[in-house]
Amino acid sequence: MSSRKGLSNSEEVPPIDLHGLVRELFPINRSLTGAGVRETLAILARHIQLEVREVPSGTAVLDWHVPLEWNIRGATIRALDGRCLVDFADNNLHVVGYSKPIHEEVSRAELAQHVHTLPDQPELIPYRTGYFADDWGFCMPDNLWRTMQDESYRVDIDSDLSPGSLTYGELFLPGELSDEVLITAHVCHPSLANDNLSGIAVAVALAMRQAQRRRQLGCRFLFIPATIGAITWLAHNESQLGKIRHGLVLTCIGDAGPFHYKLSRSGAPIDNAVAHILRHSGQPYEIVPFSPYGYDERQFCSPGFNLPVGCLMRSVHGTFPEYHTSADNVDFVKPQALNQSYALVAELLDLLDGNRMYARTDGRGEPQLGRRGLYRAIAGQKEAGGANQMDLLWLLNLADGRHSLLDIAERADIPFSRVQAAVRLAKDADLIREEHSP
């Protein structure tokens, strides 16, 4: 018996307009540090009880140090007659992240050393950073750069790199157990919608949802600058890391591409849980192996931590032409894709939280279902996700204190929600009792 029905939560509507949040956050100039990250977190804090943490520049974190804080107020390239050719105010991708200030007239040849374009995508502005470069630079469409043939230009970047702090946001929703699920999104990209804002928006909506539910597992949400933010959080929470039972990095989950799930480094229950949900989602998807390149799973899955953290994406970073360009804009991110990603992870969180272990109260032989009214109960179930007789028989056979509900769902090849429905029937009839958590 096999089922390939759609997402059982596919009707679940996010508690906020995800695409609206992406559009609201899009214009802000985020970076590893600085005012844009604070402004972003302040907007998120309107929806969730976010704790905003500031870690001073220079703080030693693992093998790294928290960098200087970077802020920028404006930047232009002008012709010597004053005409403005490139303006940061038009698009914050125009300036290389962490550019140092400059106010000079430079030759075209010198400017060329500091200009980044995409000759193969001549209409688009690339996204570039130089966090540790002690340099400055501009990004622009190749088409524009080709028209700039004057001998010299006036270049201004009104920025500063100075001691300040690294800012990140954290929300912890305690559960009945001390174990936790970790959900993270990066907040360090400027006007890029899929890479950064999609994960932020979905994570905020999930945090709002989880805050309203009774939870067995705690839920921890991190909104952190990539790499250095994860390293900083890990360095400051080392004694707590053993509580993380499952973790998921959310990134690039707002485009129309199929889901991709990147496995954790060493294999973990979350890998099986995501695979189960994707398999029963009715959506196209691919599961890809762990690799030490990508997002903050690199830090969480470093050998000294080896946390059970995977990464959920739709299109994979670096493989779509909009990636790290001005084409990764609010139109590239689709409301329906964001909502679907939200529903998928919501279902995953329910699975992780509900994946208990049961044992038969009396495991000798099959219980007599008819005497307990269970045939009638099954026949009367109208709602989607209701258990059928085979589901109940699988549960009653594998409820031996050694198979989790996910194990049973996998063995019976049915969605997790149907095993849960069978559990409700069997529990009501005192046929099973909960054992220790798997």
Torsion of CA 247, 251, 256, 261, to 10 degrees: -40
Length of the chain as a residue count: 438
Q: Residue 217 and residue 245: Cα distance in Å, rounded?
A: 9
Residue closer to Zn ion (CB basis): 280 or 314? 314
The number of residues that bind Zn ion (CB under 5 A) is: 1
Least gap, CB of 186 to Zn ion (angstroms): 7
Q: Which of 180, 195, 328, 350 binds Zn ion (CB under 5 A)?
A: 195
Q: Site residues for Zn ion, window 57-116 (CB under 5 A)? A: none
Residue closer to Zn ion (CB basis): 126 or 438? 126
Residue closer to Zn ion (CB basis): 195 or 350? 195
Given CA atoms 39, 221, 14, 413 in this order, what sign does their dihedral have? positive
Lookup: tokens for 201? 């928006």
Residue nearest to Zn ion (CB): 195
Least gap, CB of 298 to Zn ion (angstroms): 13
Q: Which stretch binds Zn ion (CB under 5 A): 150-158, 188-196, 278-286, 336-344?
A: 188-196
Query: Is residue 220 within 8 Å of residue 182, measured between CB atoms?
Result: yes
SS3 at position 104: strand
- 25-37 core/surface letters (b: 16 or more CB in 10 A; e: else): bbebbbbbbbbbb
Q: Residue 19 and residue 142: Cα distance in Å, rounded?
A: 30
Helical (H) or strand (E) element with 409? helix 405-412
Least gap, CB of 182 to Zn ion (angstroms): 20
Least gap, CB of 195 to Zn ion (angstroms): 4
Q: Which stretch binds Zn ion (CB under 5 A): 193-201, 216-224, 261-269, 285-293?
A: 193-201
Which is nearest to 257 in space by CA: 203, 313, 295?
Answer: 313
Residue closer to Zn ion (CB basis): 138 or 295? 295
Q: Alpha helix locations (H) across 180-322?
A: 199-211, 228-236, 269-279, 297-300
Q: Which stretch binds Zn ion (CB under 5 A): 72-80, 170-178, 195-203, 205-213?
A: 195-203
Query: Is residue 88 within 8 Å of residue 28, measured between CB atoms?
Result: no
Least gap, CB of 326 to Zn ion (angstroms): 13
Residue closer to Zn ion (CB basis): 69 or 195? 195
Residue closer to Zn ion (CB basis): 296 or 353? 296
Q: Is 328 in the site for Zn ion (CB under 5 A)?
A: no
Per CB under 5 A, residues contacting Zn ion are 195
